[in-house]
Amino acid sequence: MMSMYTKNINTHLIEIKDYFKVAISVDCVVFGFAEDKLKVLLIKSDLNEYKGKWSLLGDIVPPDEELDAAAYRVLHNRTGLDNVYLEQVQTFGAIERHPAGRVITVAYYALVDLEQIKGKTTNADLYWLSVDELGDMAFDHQQILNACVLRLQQQMMAQPVGFNLLPLKFSLRELQSLYESVFGRELDRRNFRKKFLSMDLLEDLNEEEADVRHRPARLYKFNFIKYDQQRKRNLGITF
Amino acid sequence: MMSMYTKNINTHLIEIKDYFKVAISVDCVVFGFAEDKLKVLLIKSDLNEYKGKWSLLGDIVPPDEELDAAAYRVLHNRTGLDNVYLEQVQTFGAIERHPAGRVITVAYYALVDLEQIKGKTTNADLYWLSVDELGDMAFDHQQILNACVLRLQQQMMAQPVGFNLLPLKFSLRELQSLYESVFGRELDRRNFRKKFLSMDLLEDLNEEEADVRHRPARLYKFNFIKYDQQRKRNLGITF
DNA sequence: TCAAAAGTGTTCAGGTTACACCCATGT
DNA sequence: ACATGGGTGTAACCTGAACACTTTTGA
């Protein structure tokens, strides 16, 4: 029973035959934050099977391109942005997930500052939709999106990645609103402010919001350098 | 510039040509726990490039097999075990990572109870090595292993997955030793016991260790059912 | 002057840490 | 009897949660 497995790709030189070959793609869940909602960048599929349904941004990975590079390429071509926060999440490979054949897709999520995108998005087929308000999606993209939202939540609890969704200058209200929309929970304003200010990682810019019809909020920026220096690891078993 | 990307695999019917095809494999980081150390199951590679270096258990995924199924297959064929805890971690696709050509590999980690394996491992080429004591590994397997250790740490902090590495009946000392070896830290015995006993998820079996030359420890089992019922979600931003 | 959101402290409960001595068993 | 690890409690500290009023601005 085990003999057929004593030789394999990790231990012996075997030829990669055609019947081993499948296609690889990357799919990007591009998150943004606007109007106090977590948004995701989608396009309408024209495939017969999924006509008009929302689809993630993705593309085939040719054999001479790195996975991360493929994701960056998709993202750059669609949004015009460089230096985007991008992270691999999970690989989806159900046999029948794509009508064109066996296409295994590596899912990434990206965090972009929507203010930097305005005007750059030349592609009119792209839409920013609220994550909690979208209907049927093409392929297994709903599943992919769910996995990315979950991962985003985990990351935002453990690391300061959320700031990639905000402008460089932001108010504490915007920050709180971001956390509330990602976690789907209201948070206490005083406790939230206390928490973030006590980290001593928000730099008070001594600037204020403009054009609001109420008392303007102070603007802050996140001090990534300081964060990198003082990051601590504390074991907290919580399950 | 964007025209070449308006048609792609998510939006239009395109043919998957040969020059898009690459090979997919799965690699399993099989963790075990013995002699107070976290162990990993490895095999020696016979590939010329990596002669004698340690390699993970992996195999090519044929187009008609699910990814998870491929990982289970590798694991079952190597260890004889079913019902193994298995989780996808990350996909590694560096262009030159495999000498046979472009092989993109989906990494999984598995948690097994070493006591259940004794006698089942018919394949003599397999070795259990301590995670912190192994030298050069083949391919990018060191990188894959590191990613899996990191993920294991994250999981063990947030969820009771570690019990999959222990026998059904275990002592608190074994449990603590497991956590210490996974996190590479000594923990206070009294606090550790208090913590786990206060969760009220360990069932006292009213049994004791045997064959120890000191006071025998009580044996417990983890109550997974109770855990599933009372699991709570609490937001704790800690970075 | 009104509407709307900004800004601000204290108290309480629960969890985490640090820490030292007696107990049960086998040899 | 001794060596080895099992088993136990308390006090200080810190963190997270609950909670209401005053301030600033534009309309």
| Strand D neighbours among B 193-212, CB < 7 A | 193-194
pLDDT band at A4 (very low <50, low <70, confident <90, very high): very low
Q: Which chain B residue has the Cα nearest residue A224? A: B239
Mean pLDDT score of chain B:
91
Distance from CA of A215 to the nearest CA of B (A): 28
Q: Which chain B residue has the Cα nearest residue A5? A: B77
Residue with the larger pLDDT of the pair A47 and A230: A47
Residue with the larger pLDDT of the pair A122 and A177: A177
- Stretch among A183-187, A202-206, B50-54 having the lowest mean pLDDT: B50-54
Interface touch B67/A91, C-beta < 8 Å: yes
Identify the pLDDT of residue A3.
39
pLDDT tens for B173-217 read 999 999 999 999 999 999 999 999 999 999 999 999 999 999 999
The nt closest to A177 (CA vs C1′) is C5
Identify the pLDDT of residue B63.
96
* Backbone φ and ψ of B123, nearest 5°: -80, 110
CA nearest neighbour of B139 among B54, B13, B35 = B54
- List bases in chain D with any atom under 7 Å of a protein Cβ: 3-10, 16-20, 23-27
CA nearest neighbour of A150 among A97, A94, A109 = A109
CA nearest neighbour of A176 among A122, A225, A220, A123 = A220
The nt closest to B173 (CA vs C1′) is D6
Is residue B84 predicted with pLDDT exceeding 50?
Answer: yes
Report residue A47 as tokens: 């495939």
d(CA A161, CA A192): 17
| Domains located in chain B, CATH noted | 22-166 (3.90.79.10), 168-239 (1.10.10.10)
Identify the pLDDT of residue A168.
96
Is residue A95 predicted with pLDDT exceeding 80?
Answer: yes
Identify the pLDDT of residue B15.
83
pLDDT tens for B100-147 read 999 999 999 999 999 988 767 666 689 999 999 888 899 999 999 999
d(CA A200, CA A214): 27
Q: Is the CB of B187 under 7 A from strand D?
A: no
d(CA B53, CA B204): 44
d(CA A137, CA A147): 14
Q: What is the DSSP string of B181-203?
A: HHHT----HHHHHHHHHHTT-EE
In terms of DSSP bridges, do strands B37-44 and B21-34 run parallel, antiparallel, or are they unpaired?
A: antiparallel
In terms of DSSP bridges, do strands A21-34 and A103-111 run parallel, antiparallel, or are they unpaired?
A: parallel
Is residue A221 predicted with pLDDT exceeding 50?
Answer: yes
Identify the pLDDT of residue B2.
41
Identify the pLDDT of residue A11.
79
Its sign, for the CA torsion A225, A228, A234, A236, is positive
Please report residues of B whose CB lies closer than 8 A to that of A66: 93-95
Mean pLDDT score of chain A:
91
d(CA A138, CA A119): 27
Mean pLDDT of B225-239: 76
Q: Is the CB of B184 under 7 A from strand D?
A: no
Interface touch A139/B23, C-beta < 8 Å: no
Is residue A178 predicted with pLDDT exceeding 80?
Answer: yes
Q: How many CA atoms lie within 13 A of A54 on its CB side?
A: 20
The nt closest to B236 (CA vs C1′) is D16
Is residue B3 predicted with pLDDT exceeding 70?
Answer: no
pLDDT band at A232 (very low <50, low <70, confident <90, very high): low
Q: Is the CB of B235 under 7 A from strand D?
A: yes
pLDDT tens for A42-69 read 999 888 889 889 999 999 999 999 999 9
CA nearest neighbour of A105 among B108, B91, B17, B13 = B91
Identify the pLDDT of residue B202.
97
Identify the pLDDT of residue A35.
94
Is residue A98 predicted with pLDDT exceeding 70?
Answer: yes
Q: Are the CB atoms for B103 and B139 separated by under 8 Å?
A: no
pLDDT tens for B152-176 read 999 999 999 999 999 999 999 999 9
d(CA B223, CA A73): 47
Q: How many CB pairs under 8 A join A and B?
A: 221
